[in-house]
Chains A and B, each alone.
Chain A
Amino acid sequence: MTTSLETDICGTRLRNPTMLASGVMGETGDSLLRVAEAGAGAAVTKSIGLEPRRGYPNPTLVELEDGYINAMGLPGPGIEAFGEEMSVALKGGIPIIGSLFAAIPEDFVTLAVRMQEYGASAIELNLSCPHAKGYGMEVGVDPEAVASIVRQVKAAIDIPLWAKLTPNTHRLLDVAKAVEGAGGDAIVAVNTVKAMAISVEARRPVLFNRTGGLSGPAIKAVGLRCVYELYEAVDIPIIGVGGAETSRDVLEYLMAGARAVQIGSGVGRRGLGVFQAACGGLLRYLEEHGLNSLSDIVGVAHVQ
């Protein structure tokens, strides 16, 4: 039997477990296409809302040695214009996951139905953006609000529904159980960790929005902890995100219990080759250890 990196997330087949995380190169069809060409197993779009949004003025990004803090403010063309981008993105031949943000369940439903029409393989609800007021995290820390969104969206679409959660809450497991209870098909964890940077010379926060979301290697340990705990709390598949860049990072997430791993900041820090490099290392690891498939390592870190 040949070694394979294929993986399956509630019916969505991926040629390998690496996926582009939402918000990185996911705003236009052509850039999603390039991510497909670069070897990702799937790509998640930028979180799309009802209307076009300009996002925050700059500075929207702080670069640190081990990551970034961003407060883009959910810029995007809005669902209407995004159809054209989707039709381009789909030419890449990999599953395109439509990420969505909204403030109320009805809007999530409208968006999800359109995303399904556009050909998305699954919907990822962004219930976790730490810096756009009224959206994301403010909704995503309340288990009941989350359950209501998941239930209503799930009833309106036929494709799988993933929920992306924030680590900025002590109720992570309650929220995840709410997702599972309401019929959600998978959990994506984590979004960025709420953070800030201050310039001593300028004596003020650097980001226009003052606070933003920390990503990259700086948060890998947080992401791993969340995935590990989620694996013990829910039965639906988990997709790990946060600081993954190398095959070793991906292995850590798989061992913690993730079925697939999203990469965002790694694209900026290491370039688009990050997907192929991680997959090459994974394949070598499986072969060296005489394993045929990824399912042999998912969750193995949960030792008695």
Chain B
Amino acid sequence: MFSEAVKIEQRVEEGKGITTLRFPMGAKVRPGQFLMVWIPGVDEIPMSVSFIGALAGITVKEVGEATRALSLMKEGDVLGLRGPYGNGWQLPPGRVLCVGGGVGMAPIMTAAEGMADRTRVDVAIGARNAGEIIFEGRARRASDDVRTTTDDGSYGLKGTVVALADQMMREKRYDVVLGCGPEVMNRYLLKACKQHSVPCQLSLERLMKCGAGLCGSCVIDGLRVCADGPVFTGEQVERMTEFGRWKRDDAGLRVSL
């Protein structure tokens, strides 16, 4: 665990409203872990590490004030980082299907690259439209079988990424599925994996304040997404009564998703 201030060295626009920021970082990170990213004067929010290595990176999608401020940062600007936090993926031996929805590709991509064997890992990339498909080139360098889908059919197949994953599981035998995306996607992906009897791991999101396993704001049932997750096994997720239905607000009150 560390806290450090870093200077942004590279800024890349990956897609519509989706930006990657790269910076040198001292800490060692495992695929699927995240950082608490401080935008001085604005906010501090959780971001998956989307690039691992000497020039680390995060990939942010604009959804509100903090993500907008982060997206607008320039080369040379300073970010505060703490972490890495969370468990990360369990990368098992065997064949892996990586499924990313939208900016959910950020932690998925580090998993695919972490496998370091393009014959063992396939990637399904989904987004709402062509502008939001990210990391396709990177995925093709890490995998022999990369397929894309968009909700509106503007790129790749038309349909959801879960339908695509379902199709791939029908065609090929996988030992594990890794998934990250909106909660509805995760929910249907879990269902599809069950139907095909393929174990899965899902990276989940909840409101985070401390990121360090203390404050309890990120809990789903009794599990802290920041410390016990963000990656949970399909069995763990199936036992969660709040998954797909409830989240907690800033005050810790249960509200529907």
| Interface set of A (CB-CB < 8 Å, partner B) | 23-28, 30-31, 33-34, 46, 52-55, 57-64, 68, 70, 72, 75-78, 81, 199-202, 204, 206, 264-265, 267-268, 271
- Evaluate contact between A59 and B38: CB separation under 8 angstroms: yes
User: Which chain B residue has the least Cβ–Cβ distance from A72?
Assistant: B215
22 A–B contact pairs at CB < 8 A?
A25-B216, A27-B217, A30-B219, A30-B222, A31-B219, A31-B224, A52-B252, A54-B250, A55-B250, A57-B43, A59-B80, A60-B44, A60-B209, A63-B1, A68-B214, A70-B210, A72-B210, A75-B251, A75-B252, A201-B80, A206-B80, A268-B212
- Evaluate contact between A265 and B214: CB separation under 8 angstroms: yes
Consensus secondary structure, chain B interface: loop
User: Which chain B residue has the least Cβ–Cβ distance from A37?
Assistant: B222
Task: Please give, as numbers and ranges, the residues of chain A lying within 8 Å of B248 by CB-CB distance.
Answer: 28
| B82 touches A (CB below 8 Å) | yes
- Evaluate contact between B44 and A28: CB separation under 8 angstroms: no
- Evaluate contact between B251 and A76: CB separation under 8 angstroms: yes
The CA of A166 and the CA of B104, in the complex, are separated in Å by 44
Task: Please give, as numbers and ranges, the residues of chain A lying within 8 Å of B168 by CB-CB distance.
Answer: none
| B154 touches A (CB below 8 Å) | no
| B78 touches A (CB below 8 Å) | yes
- Evaluate contact between B40 and A199: CB separation under 8 angstroms: yes
The CA of A26 and the CA of B214, in the complex, are separated in Å by 9
Interface size on B, as a range, is 20 to 34
- Evaluate contact between A268 and B219: CB separation under 8 angstroms: no
- Rounded to whole Å, the gap between the CB of A9 and the closest CB of chain B is 24
A25 touches which of B40, B44, B211, B224 (Cβ 8 Å): B224
Task: Please give, as numbers and ranges, the residues of chain A lying within 8 Å of B219 by CB-CB distance.
Answer: 25, 27-28, 30-31
- Evaluate contact between B251 and A55: CB separation under 8 angstroms: yes
- Evaluate contact between B5 and A61: CB separation under 8 angstroms: no
B214 touches which of A81, A200, A268 (Cβ 8 Å): A268
Known: A24-B216, A46-B216. A61 touches B252 (CB 8 A): no
The CA of A294 and the CA of B189, in the complex, are separated in Å by 52
Q: Given contact pairs A23-B214, A77-B251, enumerate 13 new A-B contacts (beta carbons under 8 Å).
A: A24-B214, A46-B252, A52-B252, A55-B251, A60-B209, A60-B210, A60-B215, A75-B250, A76-B252, A199-B40, A201-B80, A265-B214, A268-B214
Known: A58-B43, A76-B252. A70 touches B214 (CB 8 A): yes
Task: Please give, as numbers and ranges, the residues of chain B lying within 8 Å of A202 by CB-CB distance.
Answer: 5, 40-41, 78, 80
- Evaluate contact between B43 and A61: CB separation under 8 angstroms: no
Known: A54-B251, A58-B209, A201-B78. A75 touches B217 (CB 8 A): yes
Known: A31-B222, A34-B222, A206-B38. A58 touches B214 (CB 8 A): no
The CA of A31 and the CA of B211, in the complex, are separated in Å by 15
